[in-house]
C-alpha cells in the first residue's frame, strides 16, 4: 500500500474583513499518497487557492489538522513553515518568480543557499538540474534572455533542486502559448514518472487531464474527487518508453 504524503482533516480557513467573516474553506479532508499526480480545480471563490496556500505551507488553517510527510504543520510559526517549504515543497508559479538580474544557474541554486550548501556544490547541483530540463546551454542566461517556456523550465529546475516531497505547480501554463504549454506538461509528466508527487492547480480542463486524479472544489468544499481514466499524455519520451518497454532512466 502506498504511504500517505499529505493528510488533511476537517481543514477550515476563515478571514475577517471588517465586520464580515469569509469562510474560504469550510471543511476539507483530503489524502494524497506519495507518487500521485493530482489536479486541483475549481472556479474563482471555490477555495482552490486557499487550499493550495495551506498545502504549500504559505498559510495555516483556522481549524483542522494538516499532516505533511508525517509532521503536523497545522499551527507552525512562520519560521518553521519557511523551513518546511524549503525542504519539502518545490514551487512552480504561473509568473515564474525568477530573480530578473540573476542567471538561470543562480536562480536554480537559490534554495540551496538556505539549505547551507557550499557554492561549488550549489552550482554543480543547479547545473545538473538545468540539464535535466533541457537547459544545459542556458545556465548563464538571465530571465529576459529566455523565452517563456525556458523561464518555466528554469522554475521547474529550481523546484526540483532540493529533492522535495511535493512539486506544487500553480497554473504553470497560464502565461504560455499552446505549444509551450504542451512542452511544460510533457516535462511534468516525465518528472512524475520518476516517482515525484505533483499537485497541479489549474482552471483549464485540458491541462487537468494530464493528472491521474482530479479534485474539484466549490464553495469551500470538495465537490468531487476521482481517478482520471482518460489521461492525456504528451511526453514523447514517455511514449517511447511505453512502446519500447524500457525504464524511464534508459530513454535519452
Q: 182 lies in which domain range?
A: 4-250
What pLDDT is recorded for position 116?
82
Number of domains in the chain: 1
Confirm if 74 and 65 have CB atoms less than 8 A apart: yes
pLDDT of 205 strictly over 80: yes
- What one-character DSSP code corresponds to residue 159? H
Q: How far is CA 51 from CA 12, 59, 207, in A?
A: 9, 9, 19
Query: Span 73-97, mean pLDDT?
Result: 92
What pLDDT is recorded for position 231?
87
pLDDT of 248 strictly over 60: no
Tens digit of each residue's pLDDT (9 = 90 or more) over 18-30: 999 999 999 999 9
Query: Span 109-126, mean pLDDT?
Result: 90
Using 50, 70 and 90 to split pLDDT, how confident is the model at 41? very high
Exposed/middle/buried for 45, CB within 10 Å: 0-12, 13-18, 19+?
A: middle
> Residue 161 is part of a domain; what is its CATH number?
3.40.50.300
pTM: 0.88
What pLDDT is recorded for position 238?
55
Amino acid at each position: 500500500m502506498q504511504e500517505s504524503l499529505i493528510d488533511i482533516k476537517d481543514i477550515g480557513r476563515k478571514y475577517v474583513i471588517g465586520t464580515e467573516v469569509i469562510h474560504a474553506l469550510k471543511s476539507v479532508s483530503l489524502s494524497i499518497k506519495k507518487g500521485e499526480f493530482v489536479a486541483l480545480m475549481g472556479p474563482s471563490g471555490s477555495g482552490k487557492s486557499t487550499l493550495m496556500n495551506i498545502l504549500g505551507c504559505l498559510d495555516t488553517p483556522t481549524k483542522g489538522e494538516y499532516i505533511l510527510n508525517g509532521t503536523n504543520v497545522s499551527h507552525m510559526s512562520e519560521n518553521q513553515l519557511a523551513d518546511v517549504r524549503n525542504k519539502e515543497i518545490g514551487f512552480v508559479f504561473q509568473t515564474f518568480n525568477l530573480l530578473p538580474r540573476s542567471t538561470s544557474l543562480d536562480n536554480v541554486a537559490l534554495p540551496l543557499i538556505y539549505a547551507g550548501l557550499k557554492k561549488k556544490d550549489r552550482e554543480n547541483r543547479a547545473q545538473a538540474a538545468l540539464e535535466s530540463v533541457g537547459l544545459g546551454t542556458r545556465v548563464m542566461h538571465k530571465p529576459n534572455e529566455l523565452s517563456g517556456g525556458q523561464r518555466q523550465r528554469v522554475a521547474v529546475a529550481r523546484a526540483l533542486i532540493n529533492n522535495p516531497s511535493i512539486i506544487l505547480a500553480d497554473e504553470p501554463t497560464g502565461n504560455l502559448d499552446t505549444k509551450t504549454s504542451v512542452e511544460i506538461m510533457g516535462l511534468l509528466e516525465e518528472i512524475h514518472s520518476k516517482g515525484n508527487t505533483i499537485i497541479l492547480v489549474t482552471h483549464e480542463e485540458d491541462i487537468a487531464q494530464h493528472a491521474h486524479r482530479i479534485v474539484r472544489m466549490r464553495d469551500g468544499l470538495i465537490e468531487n474527487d476521482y481517478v482520471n481514466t482518460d489521461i492525456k499524455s504528451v511526453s514523447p519520451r514517455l511514449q517511447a518508453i511505453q512502446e519500447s518497454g524500457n525504464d524511464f532512466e534508459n530513454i535519452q
